[in-house]
Amino acid sequence: MVLFTFEVGKAWIFTFIVATILFIFLLSFKDQTNRKFLIVGLILTFLLILGLGWASHATSIEHLKGFITHTTHFTAVTVWIGILLMVSWFSKGTSNWLNFLKWFTPVAAVCFGITIISGLVLMTFVVDFASYTDTWMLPYGQLLLIKHLLIIPLLVYATINSIFIKKKLQTDLSFNPKPWTRVESLVVLLIFSVTAALGHQSPPSESTFKNEGPSKLFSYFYQGQNLQAFHVELTLNATGLSLLILSILFIWLTIYAFLKKAPAFTTFLLSILFVFSGYLALIWSIK
């Protein structure tokens, strides 16, 4: 009944069929430099993106508008992050990196802009901006907050990989930029993981709060307090301010570590510490 009567079920069947065709296609054609091979592969991949848009929360809420917005959002992400992942982990050598950055940097900037705009539109389908902090009491809001915090170090790595590394390569052709793009891709995978978890949560609302109760993570920080009202306000206090300053320090150290030639993975740990301290700064600044 789910597969043949629900839209998400129909989208799943569509995705399964297209994915199977793509799998057979990849096994059948070994010459992956052939232009016709590339075009067919791109078409099948785009059909998979359409299938994901069809099965999204946005489509179930806003139908055509939701489908177009989610498809646009994920297409931009696919172009930007798909290229980043392939080049970071599977490219051979770095001799053409400057030429790569000349065209990839503007492509990534455009895709990022489209991703942010379409992402904000998608957010309005399920979250009212005026009650954004209220959603933090629910699992959906907790995951959304963590996702938004992860986007900040992603922006930092995108700046490092597009501007700082370009300047570095202009003076030192032996510099290897791959570790830095790989760290950026790890942050992206964390964002994808949080986004996947978001897809399994109920949209935030007062009825969701009444039926399911507050998030276990949120309840952990506010044990013994009255959590009956679906309302959260930010307020300035010493603990929250101290943690906010600490989080800013961690994000600054991420850039400083690159300038001082520290290992790329060190900056990844600093980014995680930024998200952790930034999260605590916000959670402990509410009433």
| Most confident segment among 4-13, 168-177, 239-248 | 239-248
The one-letter amino acid at 156: V
Q: Which residues contact 128 (CB under 8 A, 6 or more apart)?
A: none
225 pLDDT band, cuts 50/70/90, is: low
Report helix, strand or coil for 214. coil
Helices within 91-130 (DSSP H only) = 97-126
- Give 225 or 51, the one with higher predicted confidence: 51
Closest CA to 44 of 10, 17, 83: 17
Question: What is the mean pLDDT of the segment spanning 234-257?
Answer: 90
Task: Please tell me the predicted confidence (pLDDT) of residue 227.
Answer: 66
**Domain ranges across the chain:** 1-55, 123-283
The 10s digit of each residue's pLDDT in 150-198 is 999 999 999 888 888 888 888 887 888 899 999 999 999 999 999 888 8
Q: pLDDT by residue (tens digit) across 16-69? A: 999 999 999 888 877 777 888 889 889 999 999 999 888 887 787 788 888 899
pTM for this prediction? 0.87
Q: Is the pLDDT of residue 278 over 90?
A: yes
| 72 pLDDT more than 70 | yes
More confident residue, 240 or 18: 18
Query: Mean per-residue pLDDT for 92-115?
Result: 89
Q: What is the dihedral of CA 185, 191, 192, 198, to 10 degrees?
A: 180
pLDDT digits (tens, 9 = 90+) for 105-162: 999 999 999 999 998 888 888 787 778 888 888 888 889 999 999 999 999 999 888 8
